[in-house]
Chain A
Amino acid sequence: MSQVKQGKEPLLRIAKRDGISRPKAYGIRVIAVLLSLIVSGIFIFAVTKLNPIQVYEAIFDGAFGTSRRSWVTIRDTMMLLCIGVGLAPAFKMKFWNIGAEGQVLIGGVITAGIMRAYGTSLPTPVLLVIMAIMSILAGCVWGVIPATFKAVWNTNETLFTLMMNYVAIQITSYCVALWENPIGSNTVGVINQQTKAGWFPEVFGQTYGLNVILVLVLTVGMFLYLKYSKHGYEITVVGDSVNTARYAGISVKKVTIRTMAISGAICGLAGFIAVAGASHTISTSTAGGRGFTAIIVAWLAQFNTFVMILISLLLVFLQKGAIQIASQFNLNDYASNIITGIILFFILGSEFFINYRVILRGKKEGEAK
């Protein structure tokens, strides 16, 4: 009899998995999605007495029901993806960039300002290039400020980037009040509604074609940058251990600032895409919380930008679906948000079962699956 065994063995034990085969991991995810549909189905029926299948059809209809809706879904997916791609290098470096919201907004404000000011005097292609560069610079500055403070004085980047959001939001509110149209409406309205100057041109006959191209280029570029470039390797090393990085002769200071410049720049560009490519207006809701949602996207994808496509699509899909069921079945937003909440809970929860395994009492380690 061994002395180690004390008391009763718990009914369930949790142990970290050493590794999991790919099909098994995907199997767990599929089971999670099915379970989530069943549980939210029960919720739907219990609370609203609606047929869950119809509700699921409505969710799909809301996201892909018409070509217009498909494109709006794609446009919003690209937006979320773009910010997620921007956040990836920062988070991979373990730099907690909570400031994407502000970086997007400041890029958007600059874009809107230029669009208003030079809409009549410059041709659209020139305008687009200027707006893109300026939004990149603005986002860059918004990223570099907290990064410099972190690198030089070791300030807390989570709080710093968060505070930078509020600065950007206040600047945006100020500009909205300044550019109000019509006066008193508290909105900037559609900028250059008549001339469409500074708006993204149609590409392949698609209004949002350019958005897709720009973001996909960034997605591929970021994947290659993180995986194959020397910079990407430095980011990984700094993220894993600052001391190892120092030992290897990597300038942590330089990498921190450089990476945040890139991160901020892409988020700034996201602001440009949001304003010039989608909304053609600016408001404090231009970023619309996407700067925070994108953090989920980046983390869930473990900084793999291609996986981010799927995750952003899933999030936007659920959001569009929620809007549709709210309207179609006269549920209020809360009910439909509960449904999407259940689905997300299971999908996020499945990651737990991929990383850990549950061992039942009485089973030996080896037997447990």
Chain B
Amino acid sequence: MKKFLAMLLALVMVLSLAACGGKKTEEPAKTEEPAKTEEPAADPAAEVKVGLICVHDENSGYDAAHIEGVKNACAALGISDSQIIMKYNIPEDETCYDTAVDLAEQGCGIIFSDSYGHQLYMQEAASEYEDVVFVACTGDTAANSGLANFKNMFPYTYESRYVSGVVAGMKLKELMDAGKVSDPYIGYVGAFPYAEVVCGYTAFLLGIQSIVPEAHMDVQYTNSWYDPVAEGEVANALMSRGCVIIGQHADSTGAPSAVQAVKDSGKEVYSVGYNIDMLSVAPTAALTSAQNNWAVLYQHMLEKFLAGEEVPTDFACGAADGAVMISALGESCAEGTQEAVDAAWAGIKDGSLKVFDTSTFTVGGETVTTAFGLDTDGDWVNDTGEAIVDGAFQESVLRSAPYFALRIDGITELNNN
């Protein structure tokens, strides 16, 4: 009986705690509202709180790029580090919703999330907190969400992929000219079989083909954005099939490390990374990495937000604005690579070089003349405009997130589900 009473007491305590909690926040919620509306007269940069939800932490190259991007953008706009609230290792499930709501309750005016799978949970939070702007990076549902405070943004990553392909192509040409390689065989470690990845590896191969037209590529997926072990294994599998250059769309250093190990054993293999400079883990195997400068995008969004203007629903920009780049060329790069890279960047910036020029690739042996813009619901009906205009696929124009999902000739997917 005594035991039972003690437990009952405990139960009452738990419930009363909850009740206390309930009362507490109704007050601050009320006091915060007027404070916000009075403030705009003062410097908005000193008041704003920025939230960032990361799918991993700074150990992942992709997240590190976002963390750095937000910090640099905020520094440029006079927002101090203490005004940024970062949440790390948030999985792509309801935890993201809990986190987004918690950030909103902590007074964040604008909240970013960095992974594709976060977006619907961000959207859920956006529908509940109308005064807060939610930006799902690499998301694609903002335009159709019907919410004024839910946004997407994405850089023209395919441009940097193409240029990193040029670097790989130069190396491949050098190897073939020297007689060290006869089959221009490329391997690609992909994360998931969907548009963002497809767009990336297609641009990469087109970059290579601009130097070595007969190059062909195998893609194997890891079904994870960040899995150092799996990425290393896939890279090894591709190299044992005879691939000479391993590209990647996955966030760890797993693949470059594996390539470096094989290179050290005397084989001619090279790696092209993503997000971060891979020279530290693969000093002689890494050629370069395709990189995003997220700070440019964050700064654009935050500038609009601070100025009290409408934050764009779908924001994308590329090399012309400095949003994409490639990392420093490795010592193994072929002679003349820098010149070829400069020429490609110049062409992309002035518009004379179109990455997805339909004359450079075929699908099923034929040149593509028409393609879907968006098909978000997967019903094979075009939701928005035609994607192919003026003989080139217009990537990231109809919406910010990539939608190039054509499987071009010369690319073989080894394990698409």
Contact = CB atoms under 8 A, between A and B. Distances in A.
Interface string A112-152: 00000000000000000000000000000000000000000
A182 B85 CA distance: 28
A97 interface: no
Interface stretch (A66-74, A237-245, A343-351): A66-74
Given A309-B10, A332-B57, A67 B85 contact: no
Contacts of A306: 4, 7-8, 10-11
A323 B57 CA distance: 13
Interface string B39-83: 000000000000000000100000000000000000000000000
B322 to A, nearest CB: 28
Contacts of B173: none
The 5 lowest CB-CB distance pairs between A and B, nearest first, are A184-B194, A70-B21, A306-B7, A279-B94, A189-B120
Interface stretch (B97-105, B275-283, B298-306, B353-361): B97-105
B268 interface: no
A185 B119 contact: yes
15 contacts: A64-B21, A66-B102, A68-B105, A69-B21, A69-B102, A77-B14, A183-B376, A184-B192, A190-B121, A278-B94, A279-B94, A306-B8, A310-B14, A327-B87, A330-B86
Given A281-B93, A306-B11, A327-B85, A67 B121 contact: no
Contacts of A3: none
Interface string B113-155: 0001101110110010000000000001100000000000000
Interface string A1-41: 00000000000000000000010000000000000000000
A67 B120 contact: no
B93 A327 contact: no
Nearest to B193: A184
A270 interface: no
Contacts of A156: none
A183 B195 CA distance: 10
A210 interface: no
Contacts of B22: 67, 70
B52 to A, nearest CB: 10
A85 B205 CA distance: 56
Contact of A310 (B10, B21, B93, B97): B10
Contacts of B117: 185-187
B390 interface: no
Nearest to B26: A67
Contact of A66 (B10, B21, B119): B21
B178 interface: no
A111 interface: no
A185 B116 contact: yes
Interface of B: 2-4, 7-8, 10-11, 14, 17-18, 20-26, 28, 57, 85-89, 91-95, 97-98, 101-102, 105, 116-117, 119-121, 123-124, 127, 140-141, 192-196, 223, 376, 378, 417
A187 B92 contact: yes
B24 A66 contact: yes
A185 B376 CA distance: 11
Nearest to A278: B94
A252 interface: no
Contact of B102 (A68, A183, A304, A332): A68
B97 A190 contact: yes
Interface in A213-242: 216
Given A22-B2, A66-B24, A309-B7, 11 more contacts: A64-B21, A67-B21, A72-B98, A72-B102, A177-B417, A183-B378, A186-B223, A280-B94, A306-B10, A332-B88, A333-B88
A321 to B, nearest CB: 13
Interface of A: 22, 64, 66-72, 74, 77, 177, 181-187, 189-190, 193, 216, 278-281, 283, 285-286, 304, 306-307, 309-310, 313, 323, 326-327, 330, 332-333
Main secondary structure of the interface of A (DSSP, over half): helix
A271 B116 CA distance: 26
B385 to A, nearest CB: 19
Contacts of A71: 18, 21
B21 to A, nearest CB: 3
Nearest to B225: A186
Given A67-B22, A68-B101, A279-B94, A193 B124 contact: yes
A12 to B, nearest CB: 32
A281 B98 CA distance: 13
Given A69-B102, A187-B117, A285 B11 contact: no
B17 to A, nearest CB: 7
A310 B7 CA distance: 9
Contacts of A64: 17, 21
B99 to A, nearest CB: 9
Q: Among the interface residues A177, A187, A279, A309, which one has the most CB atoms of the partner chain B within 10 A?
A: A187
Contact of A285 (B91, B121, B376): B91
B125 to A, nearest CB: 10
Contacts of B24: 66-67
Given A68-B105, A177-B417, A313-B14, A182 B94 contact: no
Contacts of B7: 304, 306-307, 309
B140 A182 contact: yes
A327 B3 CA distance: 39
Contact of B195 (A68, A184, A190, A330): A184
A185 B141 CA distance: 12
Nearest to A275: B94
A178 to B, nearest CB: 11
A193 B120 contact: yes
A332 B67 CA distance: 14
A280 B417 CA distance: 26
A286 B18 CA distance: 24
Contacts of B417: 177
B56 to A, nearest CB: 11
B60 to A, nearest CB: 13
Nearest to B93: A283
B98 A309 contact: no
Contact of B92 (A186, A216, A304, A330): A186
B157 to A, nearest CB: 16
Contacts of A186: 92, 117, 192, 223
A185 B14 contact: no
A286 B93 contact: yes
Contacts of A185: 92, 116-117, 119-120, 194
Nearest to B59: A332
A309 B93 contact: no
B301 to A, nearest CB: 22
A287 to B, nearest CB: 11
